[in-house]
Amino acid sequence: MPFVPRWTLLSSGCAPLLLTAGWAVAGRLEGPGYDPVSQTISVLAAYGSAGFWVMTGALLALGVCHLLTAWGLRAAAPAGRVALGGGGVTALLVALVPTPSSGGSLRHGTVAAAGFLLLAVWPVLAAHRHPTAPWALRPAPALAATALMCAGALWYVVEANHQGAAGVAERFVTSAQALWPFVVVTSCLRHRPRSIRS
């Protein structure tokens, strides 16, 4: 198995922590006018919001974490690493192209959708068919992770279109997407080194 450096444990582990801390602190700064059940994370990173700098910083850090993890995760198939890195780039772009203080933004929505897609498909693209692959890089767990993320994204679309619990759905899917790289890295580091043939 290609060597996976131990620092990827830090980059992948920080991603969900920084994201969650970002929306928690930014939501607190926003005050009672912000409803985390129905309102999205993008509202916290919008121009003029009280927690703009916190949420923007968290999204930038998330993007850097994904890029570093993709770089170091040599045990994953190249297509998966590219998709994870692309998800990191879109996180950076989401931070750099925030929504306006009122109304929507086609650019922001397009970049966010691309990020959701890349981070949803990267587990399947990173998988190996070889039976000695680390368990999180085997087809069944990878497909389950992708299915869960796609289901979460679909849930978010339904809630957003019906003005329901869009904030809860978005937090569910973004948490799953931020956590899976850590799961993969952990499984690689705990795996006995063996060669993986794609």
pLDDT in tens, 135-191: 999 999 999 999 999 999 999 999 989 888 999 999 999 999 999 999 999 999 998
How far is it, in rounded angstroms, from Cα 58 to Cα 16? Answer: 10
Q: What is the pLDDT of residue 47?
A: 84
In the predicted model, is pLDDT for residue 194 greater than 80?
Answer: no
pLDDT reported for residue 101: 65
Q: What is the pLDDT of residue 119?
A: 97
Q: What is the mean pLDDT of the chain?
A: 91
Contacts 24+ apart (CB under 8 A), 16-21: 16/175, 16/178, 16/179, 16/182, 18/58, 18/61, 18/62, 18/65, 19/58, 19/59, 19/62, 19/174, 19/175, 19/178, 20/175, 21/58
Listed residue (119, 138, 16) closest to 76, CA to CA: 138
pTM of the model: 0.90
pLDDT in tens, 69-88: 999 999 999 999 999 999 99
